[in-house]
Structure 1
Amino acid sequence: MRLILILFVTLSMFSPVVMAQEGAGGAVSATEQQASPAVDDLIRILQDDAARAQLIDRLRAEVPEDTAASADVADFSIARQLANYTQGAAQGASATARAVVRAVAEVRGLVDGSLHLDVNAIQTVLVGLLAVAAGLFGSYFLLRLAANAAMSRILRDVRRRGWPTRIGKIASAIVIDGISIVFAWGLGYVVALNVETTPTGQVGLYQALLLNAFLVVELSKLASRVLLAPRHPEARFVPVADSNAVYWSFWIGRVISLIGYTFMFASPALAQSISRALAAGVQVVVMSTAVAIGVLVVLQNRDDVRAWLAHRAERRNHDPLGRLLLVLGQYWHILAILYLVGLLLVWFANPDDALPFMLGATAQSIIAVIIGVLVLGFVGRFVSGGLELPEDVQERLPLLEGRLKAFVPRVMLVIRWIVLALVVIAIGQAWSLFDFVGWLSTDEGLGVAGAVTSAALIVVVAVVLHIVVASWVEYRLSPKGGRAPSSRETTLLNLFKNAFTVALVIFGSMLALAQIGVNIAPLLAGAGVVGLAIGFGAQKLVQDIITGIFIQFENIMNVGDVVAVGDKSGVVEKLTIRSVTIRDLSGTVHLVPFSSVDQVSNMMRGFSYHVAEIGVAYDSDITAVKAAMHEAFEQVMQTELSEFVLADFEMQGVTGFGDSAITVRGRIKTVPGQQWGVGRRYNEYLKQVFSERGIEIPYPHVTFVQGGEARASGRVLRHGDRGASAEQGEG
Structure 2
Amino acid sequence: MSLVMLLVAAPSFAQEAGAESDPAYGTLADLIEDESSRNALIEELRALQAARANVEEDSAVPAERIAAESPSDQQPEEVSFARRMAATTGNLAANMGDQFAALGAALGGLVGAGQAQADEAVAAEVNLQEVGAAAVNLAILVIATFVVFFVLRAIASPAFRSFSAWAQRGSEKFAMLRTIVAVAVAALVDVIVVALAYVAGGFVSSLLVNEVNADATRLALFLNAFLVVELVKAALRMMFSSGYEGLRLIPVGAGQARYANRFLANLTGFIGYGMLVLVPILNFHMSPVLGTAVGTLVMLLALLYAVAVILKKRTVIRDRLLDKAEATTGPGRLALGVSARLWHLAALAYALMVFAVTVINPETALPYVAMATLETLIYVGVGLLVSVVLTQLIGKEIQLSDRVNEKLPRLQARVNTYVPTGLKVIRALILALVVILSLDAWEVYDLAAWYATAAGAQTVGVVIHILVILAVAAAIWIGIASLLEHKLTPAEGADPATVARANTLMGLFHTTLAIAIIIMTLMIVLAEIGINIGPLIAGAGVLGLAIGFGAQKLVQDVITGVFIQLENAMNTGDFVTAGSNSGTVERVGIRSVALRDLYGTYHIVPFSSVDAVSNFTREYGNHVGEYGIGYRESIDDAIVQLEAAFEELKEGPHKDNILAPMTVAGVTALADSSVNIRVVIKTTPGNQWAVGRAYNRLVKIYFDKAGIEIPFPHTTLYFGEDRDGNAPPANVRMLGDERVVDTQKDGTSSDRSE
Q: TM-score, normalised by structure 2?
A: 0.74
**Quick one: which amino acid aligns to residue 269 of structure 2?**
S
Range that drifts further, 638-647 or 572-581: 638-647
Q: 1:685-704 residue pairs with structure 2 within 5 A?
A: 685-687=698-700, 689-691=702-704, 693-704=706-717
- 1:135 and 2:151 equivalent? no
- What is the aligned counterpart of 1:421 among 411, 432, 436? 432
Residue of structure 2 in register with 1:25 after alignment: none
Change (3 A) 1:571 1:456: same
Shift of 1:560: 3.3
Q: 1:206-221 residue pairs with structure 2 within 5 A?
A: 206-221=218-233
Contact 2:134-2:214 within 8 A present in 1 as well: no
Residue of structure 2 in register with 1:613 after alignment: 626
Change (3 A) 1:91 1:175: same
Contact 1:151-1:173 within 8 A present in 2 as well: yes
Q: 1:111-150 residue pairs with structure 2 within 5 A?
A: 114=121, 115-118=124-127, 121-122=130-131, 124-150=133-159
Residue of structure 2 in register with 1:590 after alignment: 603
Q: How far apart are the structure 2 equivalents of 1:326 and 1:332?
A: 10
Residue of structure 1 in register with 2:234 after alignment: 222
Shift of 1:88: 11
Residue of structure 1 in register with 2:674 after alignment: 661
SS of the residue 2:445 aligns to: coil
Shift of 1:180: 2.6
Contact 1:473-1:494 within 8 A present in 2 as well: no
Q: 1:9-408 residue pairs with structure 2 within 5 A?
A: 78=77, 100=103, 103-105=106-108, 107-108=110-111, 114=121, 115-118=124-127, 121-122=130-131, 124-156=133-165, 158-161=167-170, 162-163=174-175, 164-194=177-207, 198-199=210-211, 204-274=216-286, 276-311=288-323, 313-316=325-328, 319=331, 330=341, 332-378=343-389, 385-387=396-398, 400=411, 402-408=413-419
Range that drifts further, 429-438 or 402-411: 402-411
For residues 376-417 of structure 1, give each alpha carbon's deviation from its aligned partner in whole angstroms, at most 9, with x where no partner exists: 555666787555556776677665555444433333332232
Residue of structure 2 in register with 1:542 after alignment: 555
SS of the residue 2:306 aligns to: helix
Residue of structure 2 in register with 1:433 after alignment: 444
Change (3 A) 1:140 1:682: same
Contact 1:706-1:716 within 8 A present in 2 as well: no
Range that drifts further, 413-422 or 365-374: 365-374
SS of the residue 2:713 aligns to: coil
Residue of structure 2 in register with 1:457 after alignment: 468
Change (3 A) 1:399 1:515: same
Cα RMSD (Å): 4.2
Gaps of 5+ in 1: 1-73, 722-731
**Quick one: which amino acid aligns to residue 452 of structure 1?**
V
Change (3 A) 1:482 1:703: closer
Change (3 A) 1:301 1:472: same
Aligned-pair identity in percent equals: 36
Change (3 A) 1:588 1:268: same
Residue of structure 1 in register with 2:457 after alignment: 446
Gaps of 5+ in 2: 1-72, 738-754
SS of the residue 1:198 aligns to: helix
Shift of 1:658: 1.4
**Quick one: which amino acid aligns to residue 178 of structure 1?**
V
Shift of 1:425: 0.9
Q: How far apart are the structure 2 equivalents of 1:79 and 1:649?
A: 102
Change (3 A) 1:490 1:127: closer
Shift of 1:610: 2.7
Shift of 1:250: 1.6
For residues 268-310 of structure 1, give each alpha carbon's deviation from its aligned partner in whole angstroms, at most 9, with x where no partner exists: 3445555555444433332332233223333333333444454
SS of the residue 1:501 aligns to: helix
SS of the residue 2:426 aligns to: helix
Q: How far apart are the structure 1 equivalents of 2:180 and 2:674?
A: 88
For residues 209-257 of structure 1, give each alpha carbon's deviation from its aligned partner in whole angstroms, at most 9, with x where no partner exists: 3222212111111111211222234432224444332222222112211
**Quick one: which amino acid aligns to residue 376 of structure 2?**
S
Q: TM-score, normalised by structure 1?
A: 0.76
Residue of structure 1 in register with 2:7 after alignment: none
**Quick one: which amino acid aligns to residue 516 of structure 1?**
I
Q: How far apart are the structure 2 equivalents of 1:350 and 1:718?
A: 123
Contact 1:192-1:203 within 8 A present in 2 as well: no
Q: How far apart are the structure 1 equivalents of 2:643 and 2:147?
A: 107
Q: How far apart are the structure 2 equivalents of 1:384 and 1:550?
A: 43
Shift of 1:554: 4.1
- What is the aligned counterpart of 2:588 among 567, 575, 584? 575
Contact 2:242-2:261 within 8 A present in 1 as well: yes
Contact 1:96-1:349 within 8 A present in 2 as well: no
